[in-house]
Amino acid sequence: MEDFRLKVFLTAAKTLSFTRCAEQLYISQPAVSKNISELERHFGTRLFHRRGSGLELTESGRLLEKWSEKITSMYITLENEMAQMGKANQGELRLGASTTIAQYVIPPVIAGFNGCYPDIRVSMITGNSERIEQALFAKEIELGFVENVSRRGGLQYRHFADDRLVAVARSGADIPTRIKVSELQTIPLVLREKGSGTLELVTRRLASLGVSLQSLDVVAWLDSSEAIKAYLSASDAMAIISVAAVRKELGSGSLKTIDIEGLDFTREFSRVSCQGEHDALSELFCQFAQNFML
């Protein structure tokens, strides 16, 4: 169904050679020239500059390249969704989730989903929120779950679940269970790495009270809640992480919470997808997840 002329144009735009374009599409070079000429006549503008034996996109050509990529992506989505109409609840769903969500929130949902829809293959990549957003732009996944506060252009964010960050330390650590913000500078602190949604929220909430990370005694930057908990078990440091990551430890008494006066760390987990794109399996998964987590 895809317009073959756009396919020829995109291939020529990527290779910048009619000869290589013809080789990749298994057509003749005159056929390439014919399709490009038809597009140029249709739009009334040149799409390529001829530079000796090579090509260079004109400004109009760069514009058409951008829109051709979007159109091609929409054709692919259409083909997939039409295929789904004839294959009820079958196919592959590629998810991505930021570390906290991937470790403590999504796995039970996926297990329940697999039980209800055994013909849908679910895969998931993990990383911090920034990595998941990059994976969406790169078309590595159809649906992401992130915990960051900031929003990137070109992506659509919707509420998925509520969460809260808590300050915790080893139960035997010499840290009071209630402290003032001004006392934070005296306590060794373990934080998540740059690009983490958790770190972004902590940074913003502290900044709202006039506290910068540079003024704190950060002893380690770690890339997972599990690593942070292991660090706390062998030190007198404090960490600020999702309550979802420490429910077991708080229940057993191995960790204690520390109330920081004036600080509220409530937040939301968001589902995120590329703006303007619709995927039937993603919507099915989200509907299931919302009901599953009630």
Q: Return the pLDDT at 77.
A: 67
Q: Return the pLDDT at 2.
A: 61
Mean pLDDT of 159-183: 91
Mean pLDDT of 41-69: 89
Lowest mean pLDDT among 42-46, 74-78, 160-164, 176-180: 74-78
pLDDT digits (tens, 9 = 90+) for 230-260: 999 999 999 999 998 999 999 999 999 999 9
Mean pLDDT of 134-157: 90
Mean pLDDT of 118-133: 91
Is 183's pLDDT higher than 60? yes
> What CA–CA distance (Å, rounded) separates 236 from 224?
19
pLDDT digits (tens, 9 = 90+) for 209-226: 889 989 999 999 998 899
Confidence of residue 83 (pLDDT cuts 50, 70, 90): low
Q: Return the pLDDT at 1.
A: 54
Nearest to 123 by CA among 136, 114, 115: 114
Mean pLDDT of 16-31: 86
Greater pLDDT, 111 or 150: 111
Q: Return the pLDDT at 82.
A: 67
Greater pLDDT, 74 or 93: 93
pLDDT digits (tens, 9 = 90+) for 252-291: 999 999 999 888 888 889 999 998 877 888 988 988 888 7
Look up residue 267 and give its two tokens: 């937040």
% of residues, the chain, pLDDT over 90: 46
Cβ 181 vs Cβ 263: under 8 Å: yes
Is 88's pLDDT higher than 60? no
